Every structure is written in C-alpha cells, then in structure tokens.
Amino acid sequence: MTLIKSISGIRGTIGGNTGDNLTPVDAVKFAAAYGSWIKKQTNKTKIKVVIGRDARLSGEMIQNLVSSTLIGLGIDIIDLDLSTTPTVEIAVPMEKADGGIILTASHNPKQWNALKLLNAKGEFLSGADGAEILKIAEGEDFDFSDVDELGVVTKNDSYIDIHIDEVLNLPLVDAEKIKAAGFKVVVDGVNSTGGIAIPKLLKELGVEVVELYCNPTGHFPHNPEPLKEHLGDISKMVVNEKAHLGIVVDPDVDRLAFMCEDGEMFGEEYTLVACADYVLGKNPGNTVSNLSSSRALRDVTKKHGGKYEASAVGEVNVVELMKKNNAVIGGEGNGGIIYPELHYGRDALVGVALFLTHLAELGISAKKLRDSYPSYFMSKKKIELTPGLDVDLILKKMEDKYKNENLTTIDGVKIDFAENWVHLRKSNTEPIIRIYTEAKSQEEAHGLADRIIGEIKTIAGI
C-alpha cells in the first residue's frame, strides 16, 4: 500500500494505515493543507474552490471528506460531481474560483485515488507551491472557521456540456466537416467519466457512436491505462462494427488513444503528433513535449518550420516550457494534448475534435494517416522499487557510465544515441523506475530497454 506526495498531487491506495496510504485522515489533512495554502494566497473574504471527480469507487467518499474539510475552513465549494480533469480545469477560471481539486488517480487501478490540485488559473501547481502545501500538511497548523463562517456547497452539473461547447467554438474545430465525413466510432470509457463526456462530444460532432464500457460505475473492466495490452475488447469491436476509429480514454479523460479501422493501435505517442500536424498546418509555431515522448513530434514540428523543445516529465513542466516558448500546441506522449487556445491542461476532448477535423479534411483512413508519420517504436518498462534502493545513486552511476553520450539530466537521465534513446526516471505517481526507449523498430526498442534494465540491476545488486 502506498502514499505518494509529489507535484502531481497526493496519490495513494485506499485503506490501510494512516500516513502509508490515502486514508480518510490523510485526505482530510492534505485538503486542509491545500485550503490553508489558498487562504494565504488571497486577501479575499470569501474563497471558492471547484471540485470534481472521476467515477472510481472511492470517489464519493474522498469527495465528501475533502469538501467537508474545505467547508470547515470557510471555503465555498462549486461541486461538479462526476466530471473530468480538463473540465474542472476549465471551470476554475470560468467560476473565478481560487483553485480546484480533481479527485482521481488518473490511469492507476481502482484501489488508488488522489487529490490533483489546481491554482486560480485552473493549472497544476508549481513545484514550489506543492512543496509549501506539503510543509503545511506536516505541521498540521490549520485554522478552522467558526460556525457562522463555514463554507457552502453549490452543485453545478453543467460543466461537461460547457466544456463541449468551448471545444466546438474553437476556430480549428470544424463540426460540419466531421459530420459530412460520416464517421462511425467505438468509444471505450473504462466505466468512468469519459463514458459521459466523449460520446456527448461525438454526438454533437455528428458522429455515429458505439459505446463500450461507458457506464460510469467505477468498476474498471480492464486496467485503465490506455495501452495496447489492455484494449483487446475495443480492438475486436472496431473491426466487428466496421468502425472508422476507436477512441480510448483513461478514467479522468486527460489521456487519449486512438485505434485504427483494422483494430491496431494508432499509437498513444502519435495522438499528439497527429493533432500537432493539423494545428501547425493551420497555425505554424513551436511545440513542446516531455523527455519521454517520441521524436516524431520534433520531426513534424520541423516539417512545419517550428521549433521543438523537451521538458521534464509532468504536466506542470510541459506547460511552463510551452508558455516560455510560445508553443501553439504541446503535451505528453502518453496521449495528453495541451492546446493553449482552450486551456493549459491535457484534454482528451479537444484532442478528439482536432484529430477528427484533421482526418475529415484529409479524407483518408486512420491507418493511412498513421503511416504518413515518421515511424518510431517505443518500449515502456519499469522496475519495482524496494525499500532501501537508492534510486538517485543508481541514476548517477548510469549517468557516469554514459557520460560520453548526449545526456540530459533535468529529469532522471536521458541518453540520446544517434538512432535511439533511453530515458530513466523515478515515477511521480508510482513506486517504480520507468525505463522508456525509442528506436526504429520494436525489437530494437525492447532490446535497448532490456539491456539498460540489466545494467541497472547489476548496479543495484538486484
């Protein structure tokens, strides 16, 4: 059982001992720390926070605990109930709120939940702000309100519809072209809030929708991370239904993967590549993704005359570099699209709309579109961490071993070889070391990953 505190929020498994897991006591403590931090940021007499959650089984319990804690601090709540991460991000500035919390463990299995924390812009907190909240939590110096100053809850279940309207109003989203294309699409909503939001959006775009696991019960029918090995059911359904496309999202709808008409993955790394290709073709400019993302985005950006740069892993780091470089689109290779024209957050809804407009405009199949991009293959492996394993020392030894190669050390160790690369880093969201590689063939990518894993195990003595 695990409790992880990072810039990605407070994430842990439900049940177990306080301080080791995301227990009710821990949920209250970190909600109180966040609320106390917000109160320090403003002179306003009345503070407002937007809260939404995915459909996972512990969501209602955690939401009740978090909401009640903030109310006890005198903070008003805008309760979106079942929602998506990007929807909450959009709602915060629209409501002129002082912050937001999304209760979701994103792609983690059902035993996990988390508090994803937003600032007044509806963006993830900086590392410094996150560190301050953790400090407040450890000190447990909370000043709760008197009975006459308690916060109040206002329920608002309209924001998914508002979010969809905002997407439809984007200049580069062409609903008429999409409708005219006559797309038939299978949607796997992993029985969470994507099963609400994505079919609604598609129907507004005039798409015929076949729903798979779109009932938001929180009973995930498969591992909720949208990877090929978890998606056998939608692969078969896309072929059986003679659909043009399959769409898969994670439980909080900030990651997006497509499936081609033959039931093969479009490639989660290529979600961003395709959307960027479309956007850059209309609005040339710069792009950003993280160090663990495909070189294909770099290639497509260069094709359109723009400049590509890579940030440390983590949405807040991507956003920071996007703002610095005036990127017109960016994101993460895990299927996370960040389109600043709408907001600075990973958003599967805007990704769907941009991708379908691109596909409709080109008039080709998803498979032909995928084949038009530079062909890279990735391997994503991991090593489970055990107590006493010194990850920093291991990474330093790997850095020393490859000191004559092209190294980047802003986030773990990335080694850029001429024809491939490997990125080693400690995860922000799980107790693992991630080993990502990319090469010109799948066999080469897996072989490089296995070689590096062997070297790490030798260094660590495991």
Strands 336-338 and 327-332: antiparallel
Is the pLDDT at 41 greater than 80, yes or no? yes
Q: Chain-wide mean pLDDT for the chain?
A: 95
Active-site residue 106, yes or no? yes
Write down which residue in 112, 142, 157 finishes a domain. Answer: 157
Q: In what order do the strands lie in the sheet with 75-82?
A: 3-6, 9-13, 112-118, 99-103, 47-53, 75-82, 153-155
What value does the mean pLDDT take over residues 419-443?
Answer: 89
| Structure token pair of residue 174 | 């062409």
Is the pLDDT at 8 greater than 80, yes or no? no
Q: Are 10 and 62 in contact (CB under 8 A)?
A: no
Q: Are residues 413 and 317 in the same domain?
A: no
Is the pLDDT at 177 greater than 70, yes or no? yes
What CATH number has the domain bearing residue 412?
3.30.310.50
Q: Are residues 63 and 177 in the same domain?
A: no
Q: Are residues 310 and 188 in the same domain?
A: yes
> Per-residue pLDDT tens for 284-304?
999 999 999 999 999 999 999
- The burial of 96, by beta-carbon neighbours within 10 Å (0-12 exposed, 13-18 middle, 19 or more buried), is given as exposed
Q: Are 369 and 262 in contact (CB under 8 A)?
A: no
Name 14's bridge partners: none
Model confidence band, residue 208 (pLDDT cutoffs 50, 70, 90): very high
Q: Are residues 215 and 290 in the same domain?
A: yes
Is the pLDDT at 462 greater than 90, yes or no? no
Instruction: Using a pLDDT cut of 70, give the percent of the chain over it.
Output: 99
> Per-residue pLDDT tens for 70-89?
999 999 999 999 999 999 99
Q: Rounded to an integer, what distance in angstroms lies between the CA atom of residue 342 and that of residue 192?
A: 23
What value does the mean pLDDT take over residues 52-73?
Answer: 98
Is the pLDDT at 337 greater than 80, yes or no? yes
Secondary structure (DSSP) of 176-240 = HHHHHHT-EEEEE-TTSTHHHHHHHHHHHTT-EEEEES-S-SS--SS-SS--GGG-HHHHHHHHH
Model confidence band, residue 323 (pLDDT cutoffs 50, 70, 90): very high
Is the pLDDT at 222 greater than 80, yes or no? yes
Write down which residue in 157, 186, 204 finishes a domain. Answer: 157
Number of domains composing the chain: 3
How many other CB atoms sit within 10 Å of the CB of residue 360? 20
* Residue 135, domain extent: 3-157
pLDDT at 2: 67
Pick from 158-167, 169-178, 401-410: least confident: 401-410
Is the pLDDT at 353 greater than 70, yes or no? yes
pLDDT at 385: 78
Q: Are residues 234 and 341 in the same domain?
A: yes
Q: Are 114 and 11 in contact (CB under 8 A)?
A: yes
Instruction: Using a pLDDT cut of 90, give the percent of the chain over it.
Output: 87
- Position 387: which residue type? P
Dihedrals phi, psi of 302, to nearest 5 degrees: -60, -40
244 phi-psi bin (left φ>0, alpha ψ -120 to 50, beta other): alpha
Write down which residue in 340, 355, 371 finishes a domain. Answer: 371
Q: Are residues 189 and 267 in the same domain?
A: yes
Secondary structure (DSSP) of 357-413 = HHHHHHT--HHHHHHTS---EEEEEEEE--TT--HHHHHHHHHHHTTTSEEE-SSSE
Q: Which residue bears the tokens 């001992």?
A: 17
Sign of CA dihedral 457, 460, 461, 462: negative
Q: Are 284 and 278 in contact (CB under 8 A)?
A: no
pLDDT at 387: 76
Q: Which of 106, 192, 289, 379 is catalytic?
A: 106
What value does the mean pLDDT take over residues 375-381?
Answer: 91
Closest CA to 112 of 58, 46, 178: 58
Sign of CA dihedral 235, 188, 27, 429: positive
Strands 184-188 and 208-212: parallel
Strands 421-426 and 432-439: antiparallel
Is the pLDDT at 7 greater than 70, yes or no? no
Model confidence band, residue 1 (pLDDT cutoffs 50, 70, 90): low
Q: Are residues 392 and 301 in the same domain?
A: no
Q: Are residues 352 and 442 in the same domain?
A: no
